[in-house]
Structure 1
Amino acid sequence: MAREDSIGRIYLIVKRLRSNYASFEEIRDYLGSVACYESSDYHISLRTFQRDCKLISKVYKIEIEYDPHVKGYRIISDNDSVLNQRMLEAYDIFNALNLAEQLSNHIHFEDRRPQGTENLYGILHAITNAKLIKFGYQKFWDDSPTNRCVEPYALKEFKNRWYILAKDRGDNRIKSFALDRLTDFEVANEEFSYPSNFNINQHYQSCFGIISPDGHQPEEVILSFDAHQGKYIKTLPLHHSQEVLVDNEEELVIKLQIYITFDFKMEILSYGDNVRVVKPQSFIDDIKQTYRNALKQYKTES
């Protein structure tokens, strides 16, 4: 059986059992129904299914066992990590892309430039082996790229763009570089000492976006959203520290413990008059001044 069919079959087994327990016959019928529109061969025997369950346990850390009480298989231990979610999500997108040519009138893709993902493998290799990487990097406001030599620490995704967090050998500062702006990428032979106290999750613990704090401390931010926008904020929190203070028919008030960076400010401005900053005063003043400056763009000459 083709490797692609095996990968797809494993994904579908996990997807089916996450919704509810099922007998082998129900799983087999489910695979058959999906295979009809994916043009794949998902036919399996009980022995193959049991082998798949062992592979799912090894790769995804998801334990599947037969439960005699319900006469079916169920997930008894589910590693529902971000990595697992993204791997399964990627397979959904892969299948959609395979169908895109047949369904060109029904799928509309965002018109955007490549994300620079062609360098992901090389960057991960450099991080894993603690090797320097070199590349040309062009900021939006620069006319030409500059050559960089950096110590790669981690990769980060933000708003559908990938960034590498690295220490620039030029000034020894930790910076983020967008992958879609890298040119002439190469992994150098020279190695570096990875800092034992660096952890990307801790680095971005109180951040929004990719801008790192520069000597400042996280602040308590309180925001008031109108009730309609509040529904979205509850289902897609702004930050993991989000705490609901008020939730009624008129407003949603939340509290965050976060660095007030340019990224965060732009996010708040994107909500327009659907949000009001309640605290801190310095952030209120900053938002007010931004709106005053924006209004000046629309004043007509007398």
Structure 2
Amino acid sequence: MPANRNALIRYRAIDNCLTNKFRRWTLEALIEAVSETLYEYEGMDKGISRRTIQADLQMMRSDKLGYNAPIVVLEKKYYTYEDPAYSITQIPLTGQDLGRISEAVEVLKQFKGFSHFGQLSGVVQKLEAHVYSAATNQRTVIDFERNDNLKGLAFLDSLYQSIIQKKAIRITYQSFKARLPNQFCFHIWWLKEFNNRWFAVGVREHQLEVYNLALDRILSIESANEIPYRDNPDLDADTYYHDVIGVTVSPRTRPGRVLIWVATEHAPYVETKPIHHSQQVIERRMDGIVIQLTVQLNFELEREILGFADGMMVLSPPALQKRIWQKLRNGLAKYEMDTPDEQSV
């Protein structure tokens, strides 16, 4: 492991400690916390020396890394930040930092034309937007969809590390339907983002069914190192989600042919942004187009169709057509019940 990566993990661990005002941090406590973090992230079970942590504290105090951390010692024993609001994660970017990031962006942009690096496009645009905003002290010119209030994002890094390090974890989870939380061992295979929500995908201990656990329903995570990790050598995310829209996959259901009429005013949007990669236009009419999808019937497909209201109509299969019709009918009934009489408006 490169020394600089080791050091950055230690600095971040120390910062997490010193920003925690609910505990008083001695040098020994810092050593213990940093050692646990290195074991969690890198699998290092060798303890960190007092000299290393003392050198880290001095480095964080200095301007060599741009931290200038206001670390003080209280009662000749307890380490803390003199400024309660300080954190190394909140320091502004320097001109040198911006220059290096700009160079990195230019390098990443060279890969955007290659199929294996297609997903870098959004990352590069975000970096370009942040660098431009910071360098010119102006508002960003690119606004990305995000949900800053989404619960569970704090678990992303821990879940990612459990996948990379192939370690089982113990999750406390409460679904929307459950009255009480449930704790179980979980083996994560990959992380999935859909509709601006994140899911941890894997299997429970001694079970074969694949689960999508929404991060916003996770209450806590802890290591389960005593349980051997169940690897997944034969299944990847692209294959698993190939025949569905969203994250709901039925291993016992084959994809079927779905025909949908799309109104003229919505047709250009659906053609330029397909609902699914299998989408094909099989007929063009005066009042719109007919598209074909080869997908499993699931909740996300229904929600996509309902989102167009009267701009879409399922032509087949009959079972899906009936479900959409029933949902629209139930929704209309609620409006008719709650809408004021036109004469009273």
TM-score normalised by structure 1 residue count: 0.69
1:248-295 deviations in whole A, cap 9, x for unaligned? 553121111000101111111111000011111111111112222223
Question: What pairs up with 1:233-244 in 2 under 5 angstroms?
Answer: 233-244=270-281
The partner residue of 2:186 within 145, 150, 168 is: 150
The partner residue of 1:135 within 171, 187, 193 is: 171
Structure with the higher strand share, 1 or 2? 1
The partner residue of 1:84 within 117, 120, 137 is: 120
When residues 152 and 93 of structure 1 are mapped into structure 2, their CA distance, relative to the original with a 3 A threshold, is farther
The partner residue of 2:310 within 263, 267, 273 is: 273
Report the residue type matching 2:233 in the other structure: S
CA distance in 2 between counterparts of 1:108 and 1:82 reads 18
Which residue does 2:91 correspond to in 1? none
Count of residues paired in the alignment: 242
Which residue does 1:2 correspond to in 2? 96
CA distance in 2 between counterparts of 1:266 and 1:168 reads 28
Does residue 292 (structure 1) correspond to residue 332 (structure 2)? The answer is no
1:122–1:187 CA contact under 8 A, matched in 2 = no
1:208-261 deviations in whole A, cap 9, x for unaligned? 111111411111001111112111111111001111112455312111100010
Does residue 204 (structure 1) correspond to residue 204 (structure 2)? The answer is no
When residues 9 and 250 of structure 1 are mapped into structure 2, their CA distance, relative to the original with a 3 A threshold, is farther
When residues 107 and 78 of structure 1 are mapped into structure 2, their CA distance, relative to the original with a 3 A threshold, is closer
* Greater RCO (CA < 8 Å, at least 6 residues apart): 1
1:115–1:162 CA contact under 8 A, matched in 2 = no
Question: What pairs up with 1:1-302 in 2 under 5 angstroms?
Answer: 2-12=96-106, 60=111, 78-79=114-115, 81-92=117-128, 94-95=130-131, 103=139, 113-169=149-205, 171-189=207-225, 190-247=227-284, 250-300=287-337
Q: CA deviation at 1:154?
A: 0.9
CA distance in 1 between counterparts of 2:132 and 2:218 reads 28
When residues 97 and 288 of structure 1 are mapped into structure 2, their CA distance, relative to the original with a 3 A threshold, is farther
Q: CA deviation at 1:94?
A: 3.8
CA distance in 2 between counterparts of 1:250 and 1:123 reads 48
Q: CA deviation at 1:98?
A: 5.1
State which drifts further: 287-296 or 4-13.
Answer: 4-13
CA distance in 2 between counterparts of 1:148 and 1:201 reads 27
Q: Percent identity?
A: 23
Q: CA deviation at 1:86?
A: 3.2
Q: Which runs of 5+ in 1 are unaligned?
A: 16-55, 63-76
CA distance in 2 between counterparts of 1:292 and 1:238 reads 24
Q: CA deviation at 1:117?
A: 3.0
Q: CA deviation at 1:140?
A: 1.9
Which residue does 1:35 correspond to in 2? none
1:227–1:252 CA contact under 8 A, matched in 2 = yes
Q: Which runs of 5+ in 2 are unaligned?
A: 1-94, 339-345
CA RMSD of aligned residues (A): 3.1
Pair member with larger Rg: 2
When residues 197 and 225 of structure 1 are mapped into structure 2, their CA distance, relative to the original with a 3 A threshold, is same
CA distance in 2 between counterparts of 1:268 and 1:152 reads 31
After superposing on structure 2, the runs of 4+ consecutive aligned residues of structure 1 that deviate more than 4 Å are 12-15, 95-99, 101-104, 106-112
CA distance in 2 between counterparts of 1:146 and 1:209 reads 25
